[in-house]
Each structure stands twice: as C-alpha cells, then as structure tokens.
Structure 1
Amino acid sequence: MAVVSLLPTCALAGTDGFRNTMRQETCDTVRYMVAYDMTYVNDTTKAEWERKTEPMRLEIGDKSTKFYSYTAYLEDSLNAKREARGEQLATYTADVTWQVYRNYPKEGSFTFLDDLIAMNYYAVTEPMKSPEWTPVADSTATILGNECHLATAWYKGRRWFAWYADDVPIDAGPWKLCGLPGLILRAYDGGRQYVFEATAMRQVADGTPIMYQGLDYEPVTFSQLMTQYERYYADPIGYLALFTPGMMTADDGKSASELNTPKNLPFNPIELAE
C-alpha cells in the first residue's frame, strides 16, 4: 500500500477546536489523515460560475471516519485559546461549516452536522447507503503517486465520478462517497459544481482521537434541515432576527424585516433531494 506522507502532524485536528463550548466525545482513533481541496460553486444562476476552494480533512479510524473543513477547525482552535484568555472571539470566515461522520454515533449510518449563524446546531443521522458504482473500463490516472481507476454512480441527487486507488485498500472518501475497493482521491459531480482533490495523506500512529462534536446538536431529518437552509438563504437577517429579536434593530428603530437587507442568496447544497 503506497501512502504518501506529505501531511504534517500539526494538520491533525485532535481535541482542540470545533466549537469547544459544545460537548464532544471520542469516537475512534485516527489511523490515516487525508487532505483534500474542495472546489465548489455556490451560485449556479450566473453565466460565469464563481468557484471557491475550501481545504478539507478526512480522518480515518478503525471503524469511523470524519470529514470537515480545516479552515473551520483552525478558527475554532483560535477562538478556544482566545476564550481561555478572556479575549474577544474572532469572527468566523470559513464558508463550510458542516461535518460528516460515518459509523458514528450509530454504526451503519452517516451523521451530517451543520450550524446556521453559529446558533442553531442540527444533526441528521441516516442509514448509510453507499453509491452503486459502475467501473469505467480502461480508465487510469496517477494521483499522489497512486494508480487510480474511475467509477461512476448516481448518488444523493448528482452523478458522481470517483477516482480510487487500488493500492490503498481503504473504503473511504470525501463527504459521503465510499463503497469502492480503494481510497477515493479525486471525485466530482457531472457539472463539476463540487470537486474533491486529494493533496496529501499520511499514516497516523500517535493515538490522535477522532472527536464527535454532535452531542448538543438538535436531531432533525434531512427534509427539516433543508427547510432551515431555505429559510436562512431566503432572508438571512430575518432568520437571525427570529432568534435574536432584541438585537436586530437599526439605529432608527426599524426591525430587520423593514431594512433593505439581502434576500434570496444563492444556495447550492452538495446533497440534493432524490
């Protein structure tokens, strides 16, 4: 098994960061860490798509995996230190706030965590359903020094293409992509609105724990979470005003609903209704 050791030890998440005021627990031990760049399109209505790139991390344990934004982790770690020193917390800038756990807290399930306005925390736990992959004949690519092969599947509302490494026989990948005989190092949907590209990976032998952050998150269904997303993106300030009514007023006393605030922001979730 060829594993390229390019990811520094400091890139491991461990127990620091990720909303340290939220309760968390150990769900596994990190055996492999994979760094990905996730390039995505928020607004598909524009003639020319604007793409953003977020550094992501995949922690692979003996039974569980965790996929999350490394930017969000770093910002949470910084704020945890500021909070401990009694300093003002820094403003969050990470665009990606969701995390995905596989086989935790329930074996055979995916748990998707997200928060809206760092105030409403939601957890969607659903039975784990792997894509029904179809191999693409005579397809080869070299990624991080590993020979990879291509497979495709319709999954969670999108047509996905995944390049997996036979010589890294680990059933894992970015987001909820799994079910192949090797680690997924590159994946993208048919429109390339979401693209994952592995940039480094390493074996981990220092006992770093995989921490589950969702103990205090409100359990909801996928449909209920989508409703919250739709309400927020339709009127972000109005959504915030629902939960902070005393704060959301202008100097002239007008409420948030009376102000000329942004409405109907672009929203292109990675998972679509099937």
Structure 2
Amino acid sequence: MKKLIAFFVFAAIFVNAQNNRFIYEYKFVSDSTKKDVVASEMMFLDITKNSSKYYSREVYVQDSIMRADLEKQMKAGVSNFNIKRNDAKGKVRYKVTKDYQKNKTYLNVRIGSDSYKVLEDRVLDWKILPEKEKIGNWEAQKATTEFGGRKWTAWFCEEIPLSDGPYKFKGLPGLIVKISDADNSHVMELKGSTKFASPTEENMESAVTTKNGAITKTVVVGDGFGSSKDEIEINREKYVKLFWEDREDPAKSIKMMQGREGVVMKFKDQSGNDMSMSDMIKRREDAQKEANKRNNNLIEIDLLNKSK
C-alpha cells in the first residue's frame, strides 16, 4: 500500500510540474568504418505543459558563453563586435521540438545561412513487449519500432507518465529512459532529471545596438538555432532536397550571397591572409567531401538514400 501511494505521489509531481528537464547521454558512431570510435554528448529533453524540446547541452553552454562574451563587449562600449563560436565540443547541431496540443514533431536545423523547421509526418508504430528490465534507477518495459531506416529498441517507464522521449521518439505509455538501434551505433539513455525555469525571448537573443539606440544586428544565442520566428517551415520532402544540395554543394550559400547587389565578401585563412572567393569555395567543398566520408552513419540513415 505504501508503495502504491508513493507511486501516485511521484506521478502527480511529473503530471503537475510544467518544467521538467531530463538529461540523456547520447552515444553515437558517426563513421560506420570506425565502429570503435564512439562520440558522447549530453542532451536535454525539456518538457513543459504543452511542448518539449530536445537539444545538446554542449551547444547550449557554448551559446551561453558566447552571449556572456557579447554582453561584456557591449558594456565595454566596443563598436566592432568580435563574435567567437567554438563548434568543436558540441557536435549535435539540431534540435527536436514537439507540440503536444497539435500532436506535431519538428526537426529544427540550420542549412547554410537559414534555419528550418521540418515537420515530421511519419508515424511511429510501436510494438510493446512483455520484457522488463531495470535501466539505471527505473523499472522499464521493452518496445520496438522502425524509424529512419533503422530498427529501434526502447525501454519506457510507466512510473514517469510522460509519453515522450529523446529525439523524435514518443507515443509510449511512459517516458523513454533508453533507446538504441539494432547495432548500438546510436544509444540514448536517461541519466538524471531536474527542473528548469522557462526561457524568455529576452534571454534567447541579444540585440547589438549603436549608441543612438538603433538596432544594427541581432545575434541569436541560447540553443544555436535562433528564434522560432526566423525559422522557415518546410515538409520532409523539401528538407531531403535541401539536405542533399548542401551535402553536394556546401558553398552554395556563399555563392548566392556574393551575387547579391551591394554585398562584398572578404575571406581570410587561418593565418589571417586574404583568400579569393574561388579558394574559399574550394576549401569548403574539399572539407565537406572529407566530412561526408566520416559522417556516413546518420541517426536517420535513410537520408543517405536519395530515392527515399
């Protein structure tokens, strides 16, 4: 009886609390030819009453540092702002948002110089199995599904009555505390939870202003993707097309900007020496080709199949 009462109290906390942050460890193999090289990144799943957001802690921290540095320069009266960004630590540059009221899931991603909000229209068909296992501190039950060209095994906890999980996974009668693909090249496991304060637009953006108060530039910080009002909403078919265009022509955005009237672009190498546009484009294309070779084991592996 005491155990039953404790469960209902615990469940009520999660149902009534509006801001729960679940912390997952995401282990992934980017290069299928080097399966022993496993990257790890801590991810946040922020759940509120009407929505959730899954994103990289590392990217969030980097952007918070960038915002603090920017604010420091503003207070010092700097006129030419030096905006530094170190992408080396945070590898997961996308986020996933879920709208509970509309029952919609979105991939939020940047391609070139634009931010996109991609509607996920595929339905997760779960098969709930009788097997149970303890995952960390949680008693969990097994479920399987297929998504993104992979077979997935999930473990969900009914004691946490939230029908959500990391990435695009949702729809089970309890929070997903662990999920992995068949060859364990993508594994997400719950490591802890906490509360968080709801963010505001003010702490997600910093407006760089001149002395007379006119806004000259808005630098978006906080989660690496910008304000939702700047996102272009597209369907998955359009996203796949843009994904391949960027993968095969990574300098496309530079070429397009250079062609705009009144736009003058200057490039420098790592030593600070001037570079021509053609040299910059070649470097970008060569770097992308090498990156493509290494990044061949995407979480949605079917993206690499143009016919799908």
Q: 2:299 aligned with 1:270, yes or no?
A: yes
Could you tell me how far 1:70 is from its partner in structure 2? 0.8
**What's the TM-score, normalizing by structure 1?**
0.76
Match of 1:116 in 2: 111
Aligned pairs, number: 241
Letter of the 2:186 counterpart: Y
1:228-267 matched pairs, under 5 angstroms:
228-236=242-250, 238-239=251-252, 241-245=254-258, 246-248=265-267, 251=274, 253=276, 255=278, 256-259=280-283, 261-264=286-289, 265=292, 266-267=295-296
Residue 134 in structure 1 maps to residue 134 in structure 2? no
Query: Residue 92 of structure 1 aligns with which residue?
Result: 86
Choose from 88, 97, 102 the match for 2:98: 102
Letter in 1 for 2:97: Y
**SS of 1:140's equivalent?**
strand
Aligned to 2:135: 143
Amino acid at match of 2:117: A
Would you say the 8 A contact 1:30–1:207 is kept in 2? Answer: no
Matched letter for residue 239 of structure 2? L
Determine which of 20, 24, 37 is the counterpart of 2:25: 37
Percent identical across equivalent pairs? Answer: 22
Q: 1:80 aligns with which of 57, 63, 67?
A: 67
State how far apart, in whole Å, the 1-side matches of 2:135 and 2:181 are: 18
By how many angstroms is 1:92 displaced? 2.9
Q: Is 1:226 aligned with 2:240? A: yes
Compared with structure 1, are the counterparts of its residues 47 and 270 closer, same or farther at alpha carbon in structure 2 (3 Å cutoff)?
closer
Q: Which has the higher helix share?
A: 2
What SS is found at the alignment partner of 1:136? strand
CA distance in 2, matches of 1:50, 1:252: 35
Encode CA deviations 1:66-110: one digit per residue, 9 max, x unaligned.
111111111111111222222632323221111111117x71211
Normalised by the length of structure 2, the TM-score is: 0.68
Aligned equivalents of 1:168, 1:218: Cα separation in 2? 34
Alpha-carbon spacing, 1:112–1:258, altered in 2? closer, same or farther (3 Å): closer
Which of structures 1 and 2 has the bigger CA Rg?
Answer: 2
Structure 1: gaps of 5 or more residues: 4-28
Of 207, 229, 232, which aligns to 1:215?
Answer: 229
Residue 249 of structure 1: CA displacement? 7.4
Partner SS for 2:287: coil
Distance 1:168 1:145 in 2: 12
How far 1:31 sits from its partner (Å)?
Answer: 2.7
RMSD over aligned Cα, in angstroms?
A: 2.9
The answer (yes or no) to whether the contact 1:125–1:219 under 8 Å persists in 2 is yes
Closer/same/farther in 2, CA of residues 80 and 141 from structure 1, 3 Å limit: same
**Separation (CA, whole Å) in 1 of partners of 2:266 and 2:29:** 32
AA aligned opposite 2:86: Y
Q: CA deviation at 1:215?
A: 1.5
Question: In structure 2, what residue type is equivalent to 1:92?
Answer: N
Query: What do the CA deviations read for 1:29-63 (whole angstroms, capped 9, x no partner)?
Result: 8432100011112222x154522111100011112
CA distance in 2 between counterparts of 1:59 and 1:254 reads 42
Displacement of 1:247: 3.3
Unaligned ranges ≥5, structure 2: 1-6, 11-16, 74-80, 202-225, 259-264
- Does the 8 Å CA contact 1:30/1:59 hold for their aligned counterparts? no
Indicate yes or no: 2:80 matched with 1:69.
Answer: no
Task: Note if contact 2:96-2:107 (Cα within 8 Å) is conserved in structure 1.
Answer: yes
SS in 1 for 2:143: strand
Structure having greater relative contact order (Cα 8 Å, sep ≥ 6): 1
- Matching residue of 2:180: 188
Are 1:103 and 1:109, in contact at CA under 8 Å, matched by a contact in 2? yes
The AA in structure 1 aligned to 2:162 is I
Counterpart of 2:54, as a letter, is: F
